[in-house]
Structure 1
């Protein structure tokens, strides 16, 4: 858009675009493939909104900023987008980055609809300005813990890198498993090599190893090391954060990519809307869309409905979160106040535990649903 943006809260009638800021990890060390899928969903929904007449006759436009998994860069992007006059901010995949963006959006009075990040404490204090589509980490990871117990795993090792997100996940697992007889053994990946992880697994006699680490490294190296260690032939590996969801995982690991359960936020069967969007996303991405692409699409679907119904004033958008009722690709989306969650939350998107089929790593198997 070449013309200067309207001031926040203004609603021009000259046909100028309604802008939404989009925070997306598109370069390393961000999870680039996740960012590409998120952006594909956002862009597809914007195109469909505009094909249907836009926002009260005005085109909807994304103003994309690459966060590169950097919290400071994300906070600076929110500042810039606020100055540009965007009606709202959307997106982000990395939880620690989304937390920085949410804090800045809250401070500026800028509506932020978080697409994919799951960290429970997205903001330190309750806020009216932020809403979220992805299930909170405590919800999804408790479902994953139930899957582990149901599969017979009670001695579970976690190979974890230092991070608020990984530490939170470890705590959720321990708190949920301990009363049920489960034990969580922490392996500090700031001090261990992949080979040393194998030795620790053998020494502790763990039956499962969870990869609470970055992708592709050190996740790929750990998987390869464990697969080749004869002592660990019966150890199940898991990745609750979803690393195996993306095609790059299968490309890097081949047959080793299979039988590593992860969390995915899709229903057992897509609705007619979801199936149509799946087809369109497949064409746009030239591969099967991940749940992250659906999260991107649903984000714009929600914001477009809010902007149509309540106008582009930022305060009215924030006030609209509890009144949202939008058909998304994965179910009816509504926001509420959820205990322990400081933002308006969709409670909940569907949650599955899924893995890649050893007989065909390009095919997914649903192992458990919450």
Structure 2
């Protein structure tokens, strides 16, 4: 009987301990869950500090030197970024003053968004070199670019698990932030932006040339420096510049043939199509010979002949419908941030259709 009482007492004490310990554990887990939930819910109600905690302006605009205050428009952009964000807490482990929370995240398809954003910002940088002097893009422009992509495209969500680490300080559970965790909470968006191989060398060439195909004639002139082909800045030179840029706009195209790279340097072989300069020159020479052998040429005098020959060249350029292609090896270098296309004189001449030097000679002869 005495033994039974002792056994019963021991059992009651054990149950009490288990209940107390279990209750403490349950209480701690509840506090940890509340802390994790509070932090994750911040992503659904963003403020300035939360925005810059997860995606800073340096990530979107690496060359920016001055920090700029986040505007209300930018807050709305990031609200759309997290529009379909959701999470589910799968497991909570508490040990002393630390805890680990396993969470299943549903975030925007950050890889696709990062590629779209990087492509668009690259096109913007290329276009900036063809803009009038003094036109620059601000930090806010790049944030708004992200907003445009989120407005124009419907991005899927992707599912990933991540682990939150929390520590207890002054009886309060706090999330331990790390760059890796912060990146996971945005679906790896920052990592994708910083990936030097986000685009292949072939894709970089496509982005460059697709941007050129979208240029208007003024942008083509600035980018290729077509007006610098001529020594004089007169009506004749300006007309030549205009007609040549029209020809490039009408005929420029490209086709990627092959690609090779060693991780640092790459070669992309492309077939570049532009207007047929030989066809233009042949047409011009025939018309000029016919004119010079006529009595009208003698009657026009020297100044009249110069004016007529100039007009014949312009007409030949304007009337051209022929195109020709040039095979070219394009060099790209990976500087650790991305592949960079080395735009050189060969590329420019291929786009100009080989007309540059010929026009200089003709222009000189005409004058």
Does TM, normalized by the shorter one, top 0.5?
Answer: no
Greater RCO between the two (CA within 8 Å, min separation 6)?
Answer: 1
Hey, which of these two has a bigger chunk of helix by percent?
2
Query: What TM-score results when the alignment is normalised by the length of structure 1?
Result: 0.22
